[in-house]
Structure 1
Amino acid sequence: MLLTRRDLLRTCGVAGAATLAPTATAAATAGPDDWFGWLRAHRRQVAAVLDDGRGGRVAHRPDERQPLASAVAVVHLGAYARAVEAGAARPEERVGVGEWERYHLDVGGGAHQASLRALGIRSTNGVVADDPHHAVTLDDLVAAAVRHGDHAAADFLRHRLGEQALRETAARWPTLPVPEVLGEVLRLVLGRRVDVRRYLDDPRLQLEVIGRLPDVPRSPEGRRPWAGGTWTGTAAGLNRAHRALTAVPLARAHLERADADLGHPLPPGVAGVGFAGGSLPGVVAVGFGVRWDDGSVGSAAVLVEEVDEPWAGRAGELAELVRRALLEPVVLREFRASLS
């Protein structure tokens, strides 16, 4: 019997990647047990650019490449917005869930499952949708990639919009990558690189993936070497992307909804805050944009790597500090002091 893609998806379930969300628990005081203390002790594992749009700026190793995790979804978002503007894509375009899930190989973190729940799509086995013919919109998949860090959605967008369109978008904010995330997940499982198109169509290779799943490291520490070798970019490039997308209404709406979904109120004088971030074992990546009522724009990108598991569990606190740094000069000064 031929192995179908959905048979494979129902079989696979390994833990690893995730998106992240800011928490509301971070303080603006620097000490050994907060993120400012971690930054001071691990400056060589940090790349950052923060510009609040009001004259405050911090730059630390801005052009050093570090893993981006799901924060790279701003590239897909930018390419999508350009395609819609050019008439090459429509937000209401219908996509079968099965087409989306062709690119899903569950590596944990719950990103895909969060996407299904957000769209009200039933998943009895907790891995894939019960009905592969259920239709969602192209805009839904953009939201899944940006707000939930759904790598399958990002790879579908790469396929739908075209690799060249993503590369042209990424080239506007060097240096940002155009990853084929499923290929990186297959590298984790198989220990070698394979062509994603071959995997999608080759039942024997799919069977090999199933057979190798028990050998995949289960702990975050066991996956850190793999995560450190995934797609990389620079804080400068990610910062430029967030700054540019504040001026693109369709893209801005997705990023600002991601922040609003977290229940963050906008302080006086702020028109909107956009957010996209992500994590992999040992990796945290955060990007923000802020629009002030007077028309000025702030943006930030903070990338950290070689983060141990206890600190990775506090990634939301780091995201919250970056957000506050764009809005509160005292927090921005703490970033400057911690990285100087």
Structure 2
Amino acid sequence: MLTRRHLLAGAAAGSAALLLPGTASAATTGPDTATEQGWLDWIAAHRHDVSVLIDDGAGRRAARDADVDRVMASSIKVVHLSAYATAVAEGRLDPNEMIRVGDWDAHHPFVGDGRAHFQALNSLAIPCDDYGIAKDPEQRVPLKRLVESMIFFSDNAATDYLRTRLGDPALRFAAARGGWFRPDTRSLGGEILMLIMPEYAPPPGSPAAVRRAMGDAVARRFVADPAFRAEALRRWPEMPMTPETQWPWIKGHGQGSATDLFALHHSLATDRYRPGGALAREILARPLSDRVPAGASEVLFKGGSLPFSLTFGLSVRWPGGRSGTAALLLTGVNEQAMRNAAVLIYYVVEALADPAKFTALRRALGRPTV
């Protein structure tokens, strides 16, 4: 079972996804999101900031702006997981392949992940410095541990390592098999590096393809050039340090829709995703293994966050074939609400099993929109 901190690392660390410990914006007032009703009130008051698609597998369905693209954050990592699981099932990757830790570290630009990489290495008993860089880069770990770190801790370095190994065509193909076409699988490390060193970023408002290409280029340089890595380490204290100052950058981050996220999660949950679906489900089932509703068999989950942005996709599966799935993308989430994200996540899990809670959520969403 994962701790609440581990859950939040992958779902709702708020601006901790970028900020260092101890940095935060001032708390703001609003509905009491420490309670379920508070989150329903928040949704009802922020319907223009919410994209949702939810189906409980028993005839109830609700949608709100499901086709509107919003910042996806780490929820995109279900794409990388699906591509990995497919490659393993087809014999193109060996989960027990021993990976040099230094090659994993090379995708971690020291900050910008809420210390996810640091926690991942510590969970594997790999001694590292305060930035999450292994003291002995020659240590080896099985490839499957990187993938688990990507899901359990939301480690960006593992995500970029997998993308480099598999390639964007494999990621796009894996997503398309689950109904998500053309996902934005840009380098997550590259995004952080452009925030640290804005001279390597395109002008604000540039097309997404331009920003993606420039982020990929700076990420490749970080991996290959020790002097450039040293420069990034020197420069990171100059990066914007509050959600408000980071927001202009966040708005250009990779996006997708609730429809996209729902499609892939639902394909995995309903056992239609083959080959590789079983392995992906095995990994997705672990973060919320202690929150399985009575009578259900498992909950599959992956979430993400960036300042003001909270996202997640999840499914509840029952014996006999029933599967309920939900995808939520929220914008405008303040620090207070972000700290209470687990309350919303657990509520959505229960709403897939409890018709009364589903109805209350549908009421908060208002008239169905797509």
Q: Give 1:49-88 correspondences, 5 Å limit.
A: 49-88=53-92
Identity %: 37
**Structure 2 spans left out of the alignment, 5+ residues:** 1-14, 19-32, 202-213, 272-276
The aligned residue for residue 209 of structure 2 is none
Say which of 297, 301, 320 aligns to 2:327.
301
How many residues are aligned here?
313
Q: Give 1:167-182 correspondences, 5 Å limit.
A: 167-172=172-177, 173-175=179-181, 176-182=183-189
Which residue type is aligned with residue 95 of structure 2?
P
Q: Is the 8 A contact 2:69 2:256 kept in 1?
A: yes
Cα distance in 1, alignment partners of residues 93 and 225 from structure 2:
30
Does residue 282 of structure 1 match 2:308?
yes
Q: Is the 8 A contact 2:180 2:260 kept in 1?
A: yes
Query: What's the offset of the Cα at 1:132?
Result: 1.2
Give the match's secondary structure for 1:257: coil
Q: Is the 8 A contact 2:106 2:222 kept in 1?
A: no
Cα distance in 2, alignment partners of residues 198 and 110 from structure 1:
22
Cα distance in 2, alignment partners of residues 115 and 291 from structure 1:
28
Query: What's the offset of the Cα at 1:84?
Result: 0.8
Cα distance in 2, alignment partners of residues 108 and 290 from structure 1:
28
Which residue type is aligned with residue 94 of structure 1?
M
Does residue 112 of structure 1 match 2:89?
no
Cα distance in 2, alignment partners of residues 289 and 207 from structure 1:
42
Say which of 254, 257, 272 aligns to 2:298.
272
Give the match's secondary structure for 1:199: helix
Q: Is the 8 A contact 2:293 2:350 kept in 1?
A: no
Change (3 A) 1:269 1:16: closer
Q: Is the 8 A contact 1:228 1:283 kept in 2?
A: no
Cα distance in 2, alignment partners of residues 36 and 249 from structure 1:
33
Say which of 139, 157, 164 aligns to 1:159.
164
Give the match's secondary structure for 1:275: strand
The aligned residue for residue 22 of structure 1 is none
The aligned residue for residue 256 of structure 1 is 285
After superposition, the CA RMSD in angstroms is 1.9
Cα distance in 2, alignment partners of residues 239 and 126 from structure 1:
35
Q: Is the 8 A contact 1:228 1:305 kept in 2?
A: no
Query: For 1:91-140, what per-residue CA distance to the aligned partner results, in whole angstroms no more than 9, with x for missing partners?
Result: 11111111111100121412112211222222243522222111111111
Does residue 230 of structure 1 match 2:234?
no
**4+ runs deviating over 3 angstroms:** 25-28, 202-208
Cα distance in 1, alignment partners of residues 335 and 112 from structure 2:
17
The aligned residue for residue 245 of structure 1 is 268
Q: Give 1:324-335 correspondences, 5 Å limit.
A: 324-335=350-361
The aligned residue for residue 17 of structure 2 is 17
**Structure 1 spans left out of the alignment, 5+ residues:** 1-14, 19-24
TM-score (norm 1): 0.86
Does residue 206 of structure 1 match 2:213?
no
TM-score (norm 2): 0.80
Query: For 1:275-315, what per-residue CA distance to the aligned partner results, in whole angstroms no more than 9, with x for missing partners?
Result: 11111111101110111112111111101012222222222
Does residue 131 of structure 1 match 2:160?
no
Q: Is the 8 A contact 2:107 2:222 kept in 1?
A: no
Which residue type is aligned with residue 186 of structure 2?
P
Give the match's secondary structure for 2:285: helix
